[in-house]
Amino acid sequence: MLKFHEALPLSLYIHLPWCVKKCPYCDFNSHAASGEPLPEAEYVAALVRDLEFALAQIWGRRITSIFIGGGTPSLFSGAAINELLAALHARLNFNPAIEITLEANPGTTDSEHFHGYYAAGVNRLSIGVQSFNDDHLRALGRIHDAAAARRAIDAASAAGFDNINLDLMFGLPGQTTESAIRDLEIAIECAPQHISWYQLTIEPNTAFYSRPPALPDEDRVCEMQEYGQVLLAQHGYEHYEVSAYATTGRRCRHNLNYWEFGDYLGIGAGAHSKLTDAGSHCVRRHARHRMPLSYLQLAGTDAAVVSGQTLSKADLVLEFMLNALRLVHGFAPDLFTQRCGIPLEEISVPLGEAQARQLLERDINKIIPTARGRRYLNDLIACFMQDQETAV
Amino acid sequence: MENIRNFSIIAHIDHGKSTLADRFIQTCEGLTDREMQEQVLDSMDLERERGITIKAQSVTLNYQADDGTTYLLNMIDTPGHVDFSYEVSRSLAACEGALLVVDAAQGVEAQSVANCLTAIDQNLEVLPVLNKIDLPSAEPARVKKEIEEIIGLDTGQTIEVSAKNGTGVKQLLEQMVRVFPPPKGREDAPLRALIIDSWFDNYLGVVSLVRIMDGELPVRKKMRVMSTGRDHEVTEVGVFTPKRTPRQRLRTGEVGYVVASIKEIDGVPVGDTLTLAEQPATEPLPGFRTIQPRVFAGLYTVDSSDYESFREALGKLRLNDAALHYEPETSQALGFGFRCGFLGMLHMEIIQERLEREYDLNLIITAPTVVYEVLTTAGETLYVDNPANLPERDKISELREPVVQADILVPQDYLGNVITLCIEKRGRQKRMQYLGNQVSLAFELPMNEIVLDFFDRLKSVSRGYASFDYHFLRYQAANLVKLDVLINSEKVDALSSIVHSDHIQRYGHALTAKIKEFIPRQMFEVAIQAAVGSKIVARTTVKALRKNVTAKCYGGDITRKRKLLEKQKAGKKRMKQFGSVEIPQEAFMAILHVGKD
């Protein structure tokens, strides 16, 4: 039986599924808007119904962060976001220091949008820049150019935002180490508080997967990463997760909650939740219907929840490690017990194996991936995967 | 008995034997059209996929001849591949006649020649027939001439058929009942039945295909297996039409099956004689000569806990495959397994596939090798079927390899290519004879040069037209050495091979390069070396993987990331952990791919 001694922190994820067009590398639940005006008001109403339906599952718990992701949430007006956040505030218990992030695409935003979001209570922006090189942006199928990205960053600051993340990719089709580093230098000049710098990976069910572009070779990509990490450190961006870098005190609390295996409720089309029920000693995952129009109809009913799964002990161990080992500074041993409800002794065998293979270090206060463990993170995580035969 | 005709069909692969068999079944209405699957006789999945016949099968048909008589035709199927000539002679032992099917476009092939000579040796009436006469490229006159020149059969009465569209099939059946003699045998003598084949059925136990030589075999009597003296009650006898059709008894001259609820898999050995317990025969039938496997390889389960089920599976396969030999062996690299002997490479592949498919085993097979004869300095003669067991060099006085004679038939256009190939394989030409359009070649070749890829190479240099058959001649001294493979400086016994000393350098480089292709990049560099004794003759490395990290992972998509990792891990299931290096199954067979591209 799983034993939970204290409540897990809880975040709220809100999915807005529409984009101007689908990018060839994107495997998120996004749908090209078909030219007609978006059903903003209907969708906000559906989200509120969905939340009310889910309230019983999180009753009384305090929300530490909200993340409005997509799709392209910045297709929604400031007014719509305002209405949404007001409705949430009226129904939920917000932590006074709550972090509220919204994802913005430089191609869909102007000064008015940013003022609206800020006024609505959004206090963190994540801007999907991806690159400052117009050739690369075209290859990625982005709807904006480098100049638009810079204008968006300036407009966001002018609107009052002082907690901004830039999403940036490397290992792009045709990219050299020089141009990857140049991208980072420009990003650093813009002085955001946080940079998510991640390697382009070709995911199944994307346009790139069916027609793969020519990517730089592995040695080149590793070179980019090594130079880039030095540059980011020199400018005060601390590396705290595989692809996340932050200035002091500006780590993304919402994402940290994922990586520290906290709870989250996801509302909106295709949103995923992971919720711990200390009373019934179990942890459940479920997801909402992916298609926006069906979601609009079904939100607020059982039928909007399409898949549900109670996690086994083996699932919990693996999923905890899949997240927590991404953290550069590792995690406290207590965190495992607190988040999984399982005593640490139960995983002493795989912990020992990972240590013996020099992928992991531990002392009384910390369990932490070694430099080698960070480099071969998938091999490290695989230590915690039970064989199918033994799991049955 | 006068109206029984027992016959086999001899044909090269693709010459249309199975199609012709199907046509016979249809003509005699053994199956309704609805039941008529393509090539019903090849019943194992594997056979149908590969389009070849592996095991003997029999079908009993009623044929209404033009003279008004109804004949009982027992057709015993035979395999067509060079590896299975032993099975052919077993099938022939149950017959009085053999139909030699020759493709009217391709002409005579070496394997058919060999099988035909076996049939003539066993005093069978051999009837040649030309198939695929419907093909535009058919040349009946030329092919008939080949049959006369190469095999020495008269083709004056030879019928031309197309099994595909049915032309000539009726005339052929008429000719068969006229030409093939009826079986002989004493109906009133005590029962003597020859076991042609046995296999294990999960519901019935052991099922045996038998030919009644003398007497009769009724149901519900006690039968005796003559070699063991054990008695079993006969629970069912019958024939395949090709559906399993129970009968009250099998009579003299007939071919059918016997079930006696025998559960032990070695209870009814192929080649043995059955008699009746109440009135036993005094002398068993001659049986078959035992067959020597020529190619040996180590078979291991990836998961060591499967060892017992692996042993059981081998036992079941061995029941109707007398050519499969196995005995336990241990490898430092692979743990407990079996050293298995096979007739040839195809036989080995088929056994592997059957084990994996029918018994759900995950296997690693080491590189196949032939049996070497070693004269030690102490004056002993040893036979070594595993390179890892070769004595140290200073203990060997002489190392001898098996030499075979290969008889090859090839159209003139490809003669040069074939000779070049044979010389590359250390062959010595013994004979060359022009026969019509084809050339008949005889070469002496070291057997280890032909077991691996000779057949494939021969086919590719002759665009598929050359064919060959081989038989063992003798052991012959040769300058051979053991080549070891070291992975991260540790010797992997399962990767050792015995190589001619002239080829060490070239072979060592090719082998290490091939192994490299199969070993995935891992967290550290993997050095692959080939060595003779302590001397390294080739070296290559698999570079370390730079990193293995998932770039992006946020809450929602965790299920997908998980599946990805689980897939990565599943891919490693077919790998064997050796020290810290993971070696996939295919690497142990790298030797087979040396020199292929």
- Bridge partners of A245? A195, A239
More reliable by pLDDT, B162 or B43: B162
Range from A73-87, A334-348, B18-32 carrying the lowest mean pLDDT: B18-32
A331 versus A6: the higher-pLDDT residue is A331
Phi, psi values for residue A276, rounded to 5°: -100, 130
Contacts of B410-415 with CB under 8 Å at 24 or more apart are: B410/B438, B410/B439, B410/B441, B410/B462, B410/B465, B410/B466, B410/B467, B411/B437, B411/B438, B411/B439, B411/B462, B411/B465, B411/B466, B412/B437, B412/B438, B412/B439, B414/B461, B414/B462, B414/B463, B414/B465, B414/B466, B415/B439, B415/B441
Query: Cβ atoms within 10 A of the Cβ of B282, count?
Result: 8
Give the residue among B220, B219, B224, B237 at the shortest CA–CA distance from B191: B224
Query: Which residue's entry shows tokens 């800020």?
Result: A118
Q: What is the pLDDT of residues B262-296, one digit of tens each?
A: 877 667 777 889 999 999 998 888 877 666 787 89
Chain B residue whose CA is closest to A255: B554
CA distance B366 to B296: 9
Q: Evaluate if residue B537 carries a pLDDT over 60.
A: yes
Q: Which residues of B touch A17 (CB under 8 A)?
A: none
Q: What mean pLDDT is reported for chain B?
A: 84
Which is nearest to A204 in space by CA: A391, A27, A377, A19?
Answer: A27
**Coil vs helix vs strand at B152:** coil
Positive or negative CA dihedral for A204, A207, A213, A215? Answer: negative
The C-alpha atoms of residue B116 and residue B97 are separated, in whole angstroms, by 11
> B155: which residues sit within 8 A by CB, 6+ positions away?
B128, B144, B145, B147, B148
Q: What percent of chain A has pLDDT over 70?
A: 98
pLDDT exceeds cutoff 80 at A143: yes
pLDDT at A215 over 90: yes
- State the average pLDDT over residues A146-167: 96
CATH number of A10-257, picked from 3.20.20.70, 3.90.1150.10, 3.40.50.720, 2.40.50.140: 3.20.20.70
Does the fold of domain A313-391 match that of domain A10-257?
A: no
Element (H, E) at B21: helix B17-27
Structure tokens at A178: 């020089």
What are residue B118's DSSP bridge partners? Answer: none
Q: Tell me the CA distances in angstroms from B551 to A35, A361, B189, B415, one per residue in order.
A: 33, 22, 82, 58
Window from B193-202, B252-261, B474-483, B487-496 with minimum mean pLDDT: B193-202
Tokens of A200: 């382009």
Q: What pLDDT, on a 0 to 100 scale, did the predictor assign at position B205? A: 81
Residue of chain B nearest A268, judged by CA positions = B556
- Quote the pLDDT of residue B53: 43
**A72, A87, A80: which is closest to A28 by C-alpha?**
A72
What pLDDT does B172 receive?
93
- Give yes or no for residue B87 having a pLDDT over 70: no
Residue identified by tokens 């070993």 is B519
- Looking at residue A359, its pLDDT comes to 95
Residue A28 pLDDT greater than 80, yes or no: yes
Instruction: Collect all residues of chain A within an 8 Å Cβ-Cβ radius of residue B565.
Output: 322, 378, 381-382, 385
To the nearest whole number, what is the mean pLDDT of chain A?
93
Which residues, in sequence order, are bridge partners of residue B529?
A: B486, B539
Q: Are B53 and B78 in contact (CB under 8 A)?
A: yes
Residue of B557, B558, B564, B574 to mutate for A, most A C-beta atoms under 10 A:
B558
Nearest CA in chain A to B548: A376
Confidence (pLDDT) at B289: 66
Residue B35 has a pLDDT of: 55
Per-residue pLDDT reduced to its tens digit, A88-133: 999 999 999 999 999 999 988 889 999 999 999 999 999 999 999 9
Mean pLDDT of B190-214: 86
Q: Identify the helix (H) or strand (E) that includes residue B537.
A: strand B535-542
* Cβ-defined contact of A376 to B548 (cutoff 8 Å): yes
Residue indicated by tokens 């082998």: B511
Partner-chain contact B559 A272, CB within 8 Å: yes
| Coil, strand or helix at A378 | helix
Q: For chain A, where are the alpha helices, taking DSSP H only? A: 40-54, 78-91, 111-120, 134-139, 146-158, 177-189, 207-210, 218-234, 253-259, 292-298, 313-324, 333-340, 348-356, 371-375, 377-382, 388-391
CB contact under 8 A, A378 and B553: no
Is residue B37 scored above 60 in pLDDT?
Answer: no
The reply to whether B544 touches chain A by the CB within 8 Å rule is: no
Contacts of B559 in chain A (CB under 8 A): 272, 285
pLDDT exceeds 50 at position A391:
no
How sure is the predictor about B584, in pLDDT bands with cuts at 50, 70 and 90? confident
Taking contacts as CB-CB distances below 8 angstroms, the residues of chain B near A287 are: 556
Residue B476 has pLDDT above 90, yes or no: yes
Q: Is the dihedral of CA A158, A160, A162, A164 positive or negative?
A: negative
Contacts of B219 (CB under 8 A, 6+ apart): B234, B235, B236, B237, B246, B247, B248, B249
Interface test with A, best of B565, B567, B573 (most A CBs within 10 A): B565
pLDDT tens for each residue of B403-414 = 999 989 888 999
Ordered by start, the domain boundaries in chain A are 10-257, 313-391
CA A188-A193-A197 angle, to 5 degrees, is 60
Which carries the bigger pLDDT value, residue B48 or residue A58?
A58
Q: What is the pLDDT of residue B362?
A: 86
Nearest CA to B365 out of B347, B349, B354 is that of B349
Cis bond upstream, residue A270 (ω within 30): no
Task: Give me the residue label for tokens 């993971």.
Answer: B582
- The Cα–Cα gap between B472 and B492 comes to 31
What pLDDT was estimated at residue B79? 58
Tell me if residue B324 falls in helix, strand or coil: coil
User: pLDDT, tens digit, for every residue of B229-239?
Assistant: 889 999 999 98
CA dist B290 and B213 (Å) reads 21
* DSSP alpha helix (H) spans, B253-332: 307-319
A384 contact partners, CB below 8 Å, separation of at least 6:
A317, A318, A321, A347, A350, A354
| Reported confidence tier of residue B573, pLDDT bands at 50, 70, 90 | low
> pLDDT-based confidence at A342, cuts 50/70/90?
very high
**Token reading at A319:** 């999923």
User: B452 pLDDT band (50/70/90 cuts)?
Assistant: confident
Residue B574 confidence class, pLDDT cut points 50, 70, 90: low
Predicted confidence (pLDDT) at residue B56 exceeds the cutoff of 50: no
- Confidence class of residue A318 from pLDDT cuts 50, 70 and 90? very high
Give per-residue pLDDT as tens, B320-339: 677 788 999 988 778 889 99
User: In this predicted structure, what is the pLDDT of residue B596?
Assistant: 52
* Chain B residues touching A270 at Cβ < 8 A: 556
Reference A145, options A106, A181, A98; nearest CA is A106
CATH number for region A313-391: 1.10.10.920
The mean pLDDT value for A225-236 works out to 96
What residues of chain B lie within 8 A of the CB of A242, using their CB?
549-551, 553
In this structure, how many other beta carbons lie within 10 angstroms of the beta carbon of residue B30? 24
What pLDDT, on the 0 to 100 scale, is given for residue B36? 55
Task: Name the strands in the sheet holding B159-160, side by side, starting at the edge strand that comes first in the sequence.
Answer: B58-64, B70-76, B4-11, B97-103, B125-131, B159-160
Predicted pLDDT of residue B557: 67
Closest-CA residue of A relative to B557 is: A272
Q: What is the DSSP letter of B545?
A: P
The pLDDT value given to residue B597? 47
At B240, list the tokens. 């395949």
Among A337-346, B22-31, B181-190, the minimum mean pLDDT is found in B22-31
Report the C-alpha gap between A252 and A99 in whole angstroms: 8
pLDDT band at B10 (very low <50, low <70, confident <90, very high): confident
> What pLDDT sits at residue B48?
47
State whether B549 and A266 contact (CB < 8 Å).
Answer: no
Mean pLDDT of B561-578: 74
Burial B130-154 (b: 16+ CB within 10 A, else e): bbbbbeeebbeeebbbbbbebbebe
Confidence check: pLDDT of A368 > 70 = yes
Residue B177 · residue B27 · CB < 8 Å: no
Helix (H) or strand (E) holding B173: helix B169-179
Is the Cβ pair A272, B557 closer than 8 Å?
A: yes
**Least CB–CB distance from A272: residue in B550, B555, B568:** B555
Decide if B546 and A219 are in contact by the 8 Å CB cutoff. yes
B393 vs A129, higher pLDDT = A129
Give the least confident one: A133-142, B261-270, B464-473, B521-530: B261-270
Contact predicate A104/A127, CB 8 Å = yes
**For residues A63-76, average pLDDT:** 94
Is B244's pLDDT higher than 90? no
